[in-house]
Amino acid sequence: MTGKDAAGGGKGRLFTVGLVTAWYSSNIGVLLLNKYLLSNYGFKYPIFLTMCHMSACSLFSYAAIAWLRIVPMQLPRSRLQLAKIAALSLIFCASVVSGNISLRYLPVSFNQAVGATTPFFTAVFAYLMTVKRESFLTYLALVPVVTGVIIASGGEPSFNLFGFIMCVGATAARALKTVLQGILMSSDGEKINSMNLLMYMAPIAVLLLVPATIFMEDNVIAITIQLAKKDINIIWYLLFNSSLAYFVNLTNFLVTKHTSALTLQVLGNAKGAVAVVISILIFRNPVSITGMLGYTLTVIGVLLYSEAKKRTKQ
């Protein structure tokens, strides 16, 4: 290996480490900032907050593709494909809104424990919608995933039933979107990369969220303006939080592109544990031994599920 090759390899590794760090920072950052705004700061408007996220995703996605040309622009090939994207956007919206609502009532640690059950819902929806059967070992690995959440729920000092229902709904909607995306965008003519998909989904989400915000969070714009007069930081929090929401999607795409989907899955499993530790240190929410044992069991189940899926594909 020449010195030039070694230098190139070093730069490549440094770039990958930088990407992974940016991915971790944006993922955990948006989660913690959502929690801070909706719970600790007292900004009790999760639908409006989600609308801010989607507005930023619309703007940044277009700029990244049309101007910066991060990926080639892919135009919808038919009205049917656009209708499919709209359906995915509706589910995407429901997932993000439900997740943000749950953060008002649940600590991040428990939110992440419930969120870790995504593979369970993915397997259920895949079976119901495509009659796709997984191997026995794959289904067996889902037992500790679900059992862990049941144990964590019983041992959670800050358990809230409504928040729990919203969190389960967000997790199920996220899994449903993954399965539906695989079904609706499966043909070669309809395959679209995640950045282009976000560029089309985000504006549709904004259109869906505007009436929802008006009817369900009455006078939120005026309230936000009044809050800004007392504390201008709320504007900076919303702008930074919304920008982070886009960078979660951007770094998600870039990490997958420069590493692999499997690497992202492994990083995702570790991210939940890191987010839990950081959130406990920041928010000082009470944690029981039972709750932590339940969450640990769920994480072990997710790791076993990932390994079982990998072996099935080999």
pLDDT(293) > 70: yes
- pLDDT at residue number 5: 56
- Which conformational region is residue 284 in: left (phi greater than 0), alpha (psi within -120 to 50 degrees), or beta? left
Q: Which amino acid is at 131?
A: V
Residue 45 lies in a domain: yes
Yes or no: say if 128 and 291 are a contact pair by the CB < 8 Å rule: no
pLDDT(286) > 70: yes
Q: How confident is the model at residue 181 (pLDDT cuts 50, 70, 90)?
A: confident
Average pLDDT over residues 40-62: 96
Residue 237 lies in a domain: yes
Any residues with CB less than 8 A from the CB of 197 and at least 6 apart, and which?
Answer: 85, 88, 181, 185
Average pLDDT over residues 160-165: 96
Residue 59 lies in a domain: yes
- pLDDT at residue number 217: 95
Residue 78 lies in a domain: yes
Residue 5 lies in a domain: no
- pLDDT at residue number 135: 84
Average pLDDT over residues 155-173: 95
Q: How many CB atoms lie within 10 A of CB 272?
A: 23
| Mean of pLDDT over the chain | 90
- pLDDT at residue number 106: 94
Yes or no: say if 205 and 54 are a contact pair by the CB < 8 Å rule: yes
Average pLDDT over residues 88-110: 95
Residue 13 lies in a domain: no
- pLDDT at residue number 87: 94
Please provide the size of the chain in residues. Answer: 314
Domain range for 251 is: 23-313
Using alpha carbons, list the distances in angstroms from residue 236 to 56, 233, 293.
13, 5, 38
The number of folded domains in the chain is 1
Residue 18 lies in a domain: no
C-alpha–C-alpha distance, residues 63 and 71, integer Å: 11
Q: How many CA atoms lie within 13 A of 186 on its CB side?
A: 7
pLDDT(251) > 80: yes
Residue 192 lies in a domain: yes
Output the pTM of the full model.
Answer: 0.90
Percent of the chain with pLDDT over 70: 95
Query: Closest Cα to residue 166, out of 217, 110, 219, 212?
Result: 110
- pLDDT at residue number 185: 74
Average pLDDT over residues 25-44: 94
3-state DSSP call for residue 187?
Answer: coil
- Top-confidence residue, 187 or 71: 71
What's the pLDDT tens digit per position in 206-233? 999 999 999 999 899 999 999 999 999 9
